[in-house]
Structure 1
């Protein structure tokens, strides 16, 4: 039975019951209407309206749940599904909605994988050009400045050495940017060494990054290691830029038999009610690629606790 006929049947049932009650009951309508008759009719009308409202509320309650879910569903937080309830058309509508969510989540994961793969490839290309082209050019400039400074008079030599120092700082900054774009240490030495280097990089004035890296970690695929590294990098970037924290803790440990967990805690101001930015959305998309669970919570004593858990069945994706 379609939704239209269900609503029609409910209304018809109420009207039939009311009509039968009037036909078989002792109630009559006089001209003019007697007060007692008016009271009986108004009471009957109110009873019909209440019964009709109750039956419609019961019959359409699955649609209310569907509406609430549609307004709150987020593809970056997958798994939201409605239990199939109701009859005929309503149950079919809920099943269609759940199937649509399955399809959208699969398409979102596939498109995110392609986009992030292209992003990583572009990062590698830019990092390579920074290292090979600009890095080598600045190195040659440093050598030329040193040769000229060695032959120049003392006042000019001092100025040239200042220029040399500025150029060297610029070269170091370019190399730092290239390392962030393409973590070569991750490919060469593994995840623990890359996270150790990342913590050292963020341990700047005003922020101390503590490390707790497990020694019994299971074997991880290259994709999982890259996601773990990027989530740690983005989390520490958010801590350094927005939290006002003095201390952050980077934790990587075994979770269960073959799973791993990455946690980044800080003692800053926390997320509060601020909307999630592009960085956090990017972290959620990366977590979806390997089937990991990413959560944000308030850290004990203030600050933010970011957790990324990779189950054993997802490590090889």
Structure 2
């Protein structure tokens, strides 16, 4: 496995390891044992006391007491025990260990290796190498200063051995972290976004995780539908929308991005400016037992220019009935062979859960279409016809009333409200018969239409405050529209407020809907909107009600994405 060409974000990658209490306690126990042993060696195995040895002994004793406090009181750990400063302080104390033990040969190296192992296993190659270099320098200086009778060549030999072994340990730590990150990514890809919100959001979330793992600029999926012959491309970029729909592309563009041989992994790395004599890398890998072979460099160079990337990796993928390529492109860093082989594993295993969701989604959509049609017919026969009869009765009553009747204006308003309800029911019936779908512009327009209807029917001014670039997709948009409609209805019918605000925000993986209305200064009694709570619960979320100091009642609905 090649990992040297795969730089990692160690701080983000090791967040889980940092929270592992058992691992931290084990490290604290080992550190305490080594430090106590260092104190004992400094007392029992030193050739005569001296000022330098006394100072080192005091440093070691203080450090031993601090390590004991950290181990015995894990809840009261100081700041240095929760980050890189921990093993860096071990490196500094190691110099005192070398000065304290004098002629002892093995123990100082064991204590120094401990700091390198901890840094490498937690933060990988870069931090392990830094700690190794610092450890070697401190060890060499401490040995030269405190042990002048030892030959410098002998001390230098130990330092070189320590440097070599430290580099190997750092490499092993890199392997450990990389394997953990890869397993975590495959696990996350099987825990895709909420399937209730459709395949678009699930696929976008999966591609974004792949892009973030490789620290690339974009992740693309190009599929060829053999039935229709249409090529679709889905592109996810850093900071892009939460839903990236698949768009149809021209056959010429698809041919430029799809290799002649649809199987095998491709790797392209553009030549460095300062190493152009060595040329670029254009390689192909056909299977587990195959070796890397050269691939048409001109073709991959054109594709890299099309992607605007310094390097890219590509693996075959099958999704539903379509077949194509999964592509990861980076503009500023070079992807390696290990990256390409792992991308093949992602394409083979990581996207299967989403593929199953897609299949189940299509089956459920066909069944739901029949059910929606039945509901639309029932709605027409039971509700719409009844409201039409009510409207006709109100119109007849208006005609009977004399022009000067004081109830004429109220009757006209009731007729208008009945007409609006009939129009809304007919729209609902038409939407029920059609496939669910509404882009984000239509979603916001529907929200504003609901606000206008509330203002016309109840005289309540509703302000819609949607975050810029809010992208919900068709299914989530339909669910949110129903939630907002119910919330506006509750404000208009039960609060007596003249104004209200509906705020929609996406924070991380949570969609937050706030329905805010002022009250008269006296907080209303505690209540829980049952319909909103049931709708939020069906989506895996929750609805809560609270009152702020500004005299406002806020109904908050949070939905996990």
TM-score by length of 2: 0.26
Structure whose residues are more often helix by fraction: 1
Higher relative contact order (CA 8 A, sep 6+): 1
TM-score by length of 1: 0.42
